[in-house]
Amino acid sequence: MNTLIPTFLAVALGAPLAAQQQDPAPGQAPAPSEAERLFRDAWWAESGKNDLETALRGYLAAAAAEGPAAVRAKALLCAGDAQQRLGKAEAALDLFRKVLTEHATERTIVEQARVHLRELTAVDLRQNYDEWYERRLFGEEIQLLILGKIESLTSLISRRPKGAKEIDEWHREVAGLESEILAYGKGAVPALRKLSGGGSHEASKEAIDMLFTLGELPPAEALLSSQGWLGDPDHWARLLAAGPAARLPASTVWYRPLLAAARQGGSNLLHTMLDLRDPTFFEQVEIVTPITLALLRDAESRDATVAAIRSAATPLLPRRMMERALREAEDGTLHLTAQQWIELSEEPLEFEVRVLGTQRAAGMIGKADDAMLEVLLQRAETGPTSSQRSFTAALVEGLSRLTAPLDVPWTPPRLRRLMLAANRNYPGSLDSITSSLHLQQSTREMMAEAILGEPAAFMAAMTAVPEAERVATPVTDQVSFSCPDDRDTARVATLWNAAMLAVLERDWNGWDDENRAAAVWIVQQAMRPEGPRDAIRAFLDERLAGATEPVRAAIAALFEKLTG
C-alpha cells in the first residue's frame, strides 16, 4: 500500500512529473523522488491517521526535498492548509505567500494558494478596517507598487541634471516621488530599509531621510555609511526618543561616538559632544547646532544643555554653535522657561542672543515674575543707546505676544519706565500692550497713575528726548488703544478719560504748580476725543481762578484743543 501514489497526487503532478522522470524499464514502475515519497507519507498521516502535526512536518520536508516542482509546490500548499487547520494563521499566510513567490509557474497551485490567502485575510471591515488595511499594505500587490516607485526614485536620482531650469524640475520630480512613497506610511519601511543600506550614496541618503520622516530608525550600518542625515535636528531627536539600543557595529567614521551616545540618551550625547576632540569634528563643528536643537527639545537633557551653553568651560567653537541653535529654533519649539531665557541671555558670546533672550522671556512673563520684569526693564534702560533700542524693541515685541497680558506684574512705576524707555528707543506705538490694559479697571487706573503719579518728572523725561528722536505725540502713543468696533472705542475712551480725571481730583491739591501744569499737559495729550471730556473741562475750569501763569497757560492750551 505504501508503494502506491494517491490518485489526487497523480492528478496534481500531471505532465510536469512525467516530463521530469526518466523512462522506466519495460515492466518496471518509475522510482519516486524524495519529494514524492515524503509527500505521500505526509498525505497518509493526514488523511489516514488525522495526525496533522506529523503531516505538517512531512509536507515541509517534501517542499525542501529533491523532486518535481509541482510536488514541492503542492507540499507547500498542503503545509499551509495544515497550519491553517492547526489555528496558526500567520504561519499559514507565510507558506501560502511562499507558494506565490517560489512557484509562480505552477498556476493551478498558485490559484489555490490565492484562495487560501483571501480566506485568511478576509475581515469584517466594519469592525477591523485597520487590520485589513495593514494586511493589504504589506501584501504583494502594494509592496510591488512601492518597490516600483522606489526604483523610479533611484533611477531619477542617478540622472541629476546640471542646468538651473532642469535642476528645479528634477527637484520637483524627486519630491513628488518621495511624497508618493511616504504616503504608504509604514508599508514603505521594509523597502526603504533595504534601499538605505544598498543603494547609491544619494539614494541611501534619501531613504534614510524618509525613514526618519516616518518615525523609523534607519539601520545602524546605513547611518554609519552616510553623513547626509547629520545636519537635521529631527533625526537626532528621533534617535534620542528611541531609547537605549544595542552596540553599534565597528566603524572608523568620526561621528560614530556621537551616534553611539545618542542611542544611549541625551546626557550621553551632550557629554560626548563636549568631550570630542577629533579634528574632523572641529572641521564640521556646525553639526553641534542640530544636535543642540535636539537636546533642547529633550526634557531630560534640556537643563544640562542650557547650563553648557552658558558655561565658560564649554569649548569656544562648540559653544558658539550651541548659541546658534537658540537663534535658529522656531519660536515655541524649545520649551524653555522665561528664567532659562533670562539666564541664556545674561552673558552670551553674541549680542544677538541677549536680544533674543529678552524677547522670548518677555513673551512668557507671568504673575509671579516680578524679578524677571525688573531685569528686562533694566536692559532697556541701561547701556549704549544702540543696545537700549534693541532691548526695548525686544521687550515690546515679547510683551505684545503674551496670551495673558493682564497677568504681567505691572506697577505704576514699571509702566512709567516702559513708556519712558519706549519714548527714547521705540519708534512705534505701545498700543499692542496698552490696549489690553485699558480693558480692566485696575490696570486702567494703574496706567493713569503711571503717567500722572509724578507729572513733572514724567513730562520732563518725555520732552528731554529731542524731537527728531521721539514719536510726534509721545504720551498719546504710549497710552493708545484700538478697538475694532467704534462703540467699544467710545466706551473705552469714556472709561480712560474718567480714570485720568480721578487722579486729577485726588492729587491736585497736593501738587505744586509745576506738577499741576505738567499734569494738564499730560492730560491734553492722553485724553481721547471719542469719550466725553466735559467733566475734565469743568474740573479745570474751576481751578482757573487763582492759578499761576504756567498752570493757566497749560489749561488754556487744553481748552483750545477741546474746542479745536
Query: Which tens digits make up the pLDDT trace of 427-474?
Result: 888 999 999 999 999 999 999 999 999 999 999 999 888 877 776 678
pLDDT digits (tens, 9 = 90+) for 81-90: 998 888 888 8
| Tens-digit pLDDT profile for residues 321-373 | 999 999 999 878 889 999 999 999 999 999 999 999 999 999 999 999 999 99
Q: Which helix (H) or strand (E) holds 147?
A: helix 140-158
* The one-letter amino acid at 341: W
pLDDT confidence of residue 125: 59
Q: Average model confidence (pLDDT) for the chain?
A: 90
Q: How confident is the model at residue 215 (pLDDT cuts 50, 70, 90)?
A: very high
* Strand (E) or helix (H) holding 59: helix 52-64
Q: What is the pLDDT of residue 18?
A: 39
CA 286 from chain centre, in angstroms, equals: 21
CA distance 103 to 97: 10
Q: Which of 357, 305, 360 is nearest to 332 (CA)?
A: 360
Chain segment 30-57, per-residue pLDDT in tens: 788 998 999 999 999 888 888 889 999 9
- Sorting pLDDT into bands at 50, 70 and 90, what band is 19? very low
DSSP 455-510: HHHHHHHHHHS-GGGS-SSHHHHHT----SSHHHHHHHHHHHHHHHHHHHHHHGGG
CB 418 within 8 A of CB 462: no
**Can you give the pLDDT at residue 2?**
39
Q: Cβ–Cβ contacts within 10 Å for residue 253, how many?
A: 14
What pLDDT score was predicted for residue 130? Answer: 80
- Per-residue pLDDT tens over the stretch 470-500: 766 789 989 999 899 999 999 999 999 999 9
- Tell me which long-range contacts 294-297 makes (C-beta under 8 A, separation of at least 24): 294/233, 294/234, 294/236, 294/237, 294/239, 294/240, 294/266, 295/236, 295/240, 295/266, 295/269, 295/270, 296/325, 296/329, 296/334, 296/335, 296/336, 297/233, 297/237, 297/333, 297/334, 297/335
C-alpha–C-alpha distance, residues 243 and 230, integer Å:
18
**pLDDT at site 20:** 41
Cell 533700542 maps to which residue?
A: 389
Report pLDDT digits (tens) over 189-204. 999 999 998 878 899 9
How many beta carbons lie within 10 A of that of residue 91, not counting itself? 16
Residue 10: the pLDDT is 47
Given a cut of 50, whether residue 1 has pLDDT beyond it is no
Handedness of CA 358, 360, 363, 366 (dihedral sign): negative
Higher pLDDT, 21 or 194: 194
Q: Exposure string (b/e) for 361-389, b if CB count within 10 Å is 16 or more? A: bbbbbeeebeebbebbbebbbeeeeebbb
CA distance 503 to 163: 72
Q: Cell for 148?
A: 516600483
Report whether pLDDT(179) > 50: yes
State the pLDDT at residue 3: 37
Phi, psi values for residue 430, rounded to 5°: -95, 15
Provide the percentage of residues in the chain whose pLDDT is more than 70. 93
At a CB cut-off of 8 Å and minimum separation 6, what does 515 contact? Answer: 454, 455, 456
Q: pLDDT tens across 277-335, in order?
A: 999 998 999 999 999 999 999 999 999 999 999 999 999 999 999 999 999 998 788 89
Average pLDDT over residues 105-131: 80
